[in-house]
Structure 1
């Protein structure tokens, strides 16, 4: 086989594996060595055809890897709103635990007992109390591996397995659990279930927590950040 140029090693091997051609008499039309040249061009054509498919195959593989591939990839982030009723004014503090965020009502003295609502539709996966830890806790699975977690609640209004729509009341802000330090606030975490175990880790730094996004705005990108916002978690008209 004559050497080829600008083709992959694998493609050349495939071309070389083609069954040998039967011997042919020399053609007067091609002159001396014409048959040999025609075979060479035929092999080059086969190699070129094989090589032309390689970029498409590589591109498809790269696209699959970029999206996580099949069911293992996460879906687009839901259109999260603040977990408070429409028009509620809040202050968000990242303190020393970004991207987790502590949320207070404005004015701060109105924080205790403020209604907490689902920021997007989903299914409740955790709803329990741990007085010696984080107090009343709720976690919601929003689909596509997106989760939100609510900590130190004064009360819980939903149960595990319950489906909630955006704006559904799930509890009230409080200061339950020893880790609240007796200060009324909602400790909120947004996360992606990266390992596919059907839950999201929370409460400590981990690879599943992500910066929260409410109404298209990103918060708590680093520690010691403060921001104010108004909830747009309003009923659809």
Structure 2
């Protein structure tokens, strides 16, 4: 047998052996390659080239435009667990819808915690687990959302093992308004696939940039008895909430809203002091419990519930 024929026969034998053992084959840039990199403890590729199926929406990372995130499939491929890139701490970071759609389910589950599903049409859904607040704290069942709609914050509710992260899924069901984990499909962000058991993708940038992101003043955006601070004028942008005295908040401040209903006697007004100096007082009630502070994004030093504003 010639050396060429011998090499060909040997390659065919090794390929058959690999398939028999369930090893499969993978090439650089595929989900299989990503899994191999991750299992070896190295960095996986920047995402697979596999195109999404026809009719699938162009989903984006459910986070603010331009921010960077770490994606992992661990042992529940094709679902993803997502944290801030480098995992410096993700608790409380805003979560946005991955694409336009309608909120189709909001519920609590002992495993997934505060859980929300969005229907995006053509049978496609997204699911968001372990949200920090109740799943209807930012949106309601039937709410229309876009990539500019904040739907919650990263949390560790349910069986998150005390680890703040977003468990995220893309699902397909041709009919119906409620899906479960049997309907999961490989995740695509910006048309790029992130899947494969044990896959890890650090430094993935959110392309959720089609519309200005923010949360407008709505009754359900500020829970009863809370004061809510927004990072932009007009009550938009990142929302920081508190229902108790707080010091050393890192929330940049422009707009504010106070939902009257705090249970503390006499606690119907809120005093806010700033790292840069000065204080402001928010009155209770829907009519006067909102307002824009002077532009400049001052930093909250402390929030204190109190009596009548001076």
TM-score tier, shorter chain, comes to 0.5 to 0.7
Kept after mapping to 1: 8 A contact 2:61/2:98? yes
Distance 1:235 1:197 in 2: 28
Q: In structure 2, the residue corresponding to 1:97 is in which secondary structure?
A: coil
TM-score, reference length from structure 2:
0.48
Kept after mapping to 2: 8 A contact 1:75/1:145? no
1:174 pairs with 138, 155, 172, which one? 155
Q: In structure 1, the residue corresponding to 2:88 is in which secondary structure?
A: helix
How far has the Cα of 1:236 moved from its partner? Answer: 4.1
In the alignment, structure 2 segments of 5+ residues that lack a partner are: 1-52, 213-310
Whose relative contact order is higher, 1 or 2, with alpha carbons under 8 Å and at least 6 apart?
1
Distance 1:117 1:233 in 2: 9
How far has the Cα of 1:143 moved from its partner? Answer: 0.5
Residue equivalent to 1:152? 130
- Superposition pairs for residues 130-145 of structure 1, below 5 Å? 130=109, 132-145=110-123
In the alignment, structure 1 segments of 5+ residues that lack a partner are: 1-73
1:187 pairs with 148, 163, 167, which one? 167
The alignment yields a C-alpha RMSD, in angstroms, of 1.7
Distance 1:224 1:75 in 2: 26
Distance 1:197 1:84 in 2: 27
2:185 pairs with 182, 206, 210, which one? 210
Q: Which has the larger radius of gyration?
A: 1
Structure 1: which 4+ aligned runs deviate by more than 3 Å? none
Kept after mapping to 2: 8 A contact 1:119/1:167? no
How far has the Cα of 1:75 moved from its partner? Answer: 6.8
| Structure 1 residue 84 corresponds to structure 2 residue 63 | yes
Distance 2:56 2:187 in 1: 10
Listed one character per residue, the Cα deviations across residues 128-155 of structure 1 (whole Å, up to 9, x for unaligned) are: 223x332100000000110000000112
Listed one character per residue, the Cα deviations across residues 144-184 of structure 1 (whole Å, up to 9, x for unaligned) are: 1100000001124111000001221000001001x211111
| Structure 1 residue 120 corresponds to structure 2 residue 94 | no
Kept after mapping to 1: 8 A contact 2:148/2:211? no
Listed one character per residue, the Cα deviations across residues 48-73 of structure 1 (whole Å, up to 9, x for unaligned) are: xxxxxxxxxxxxxxxxxxxxxxxxxx
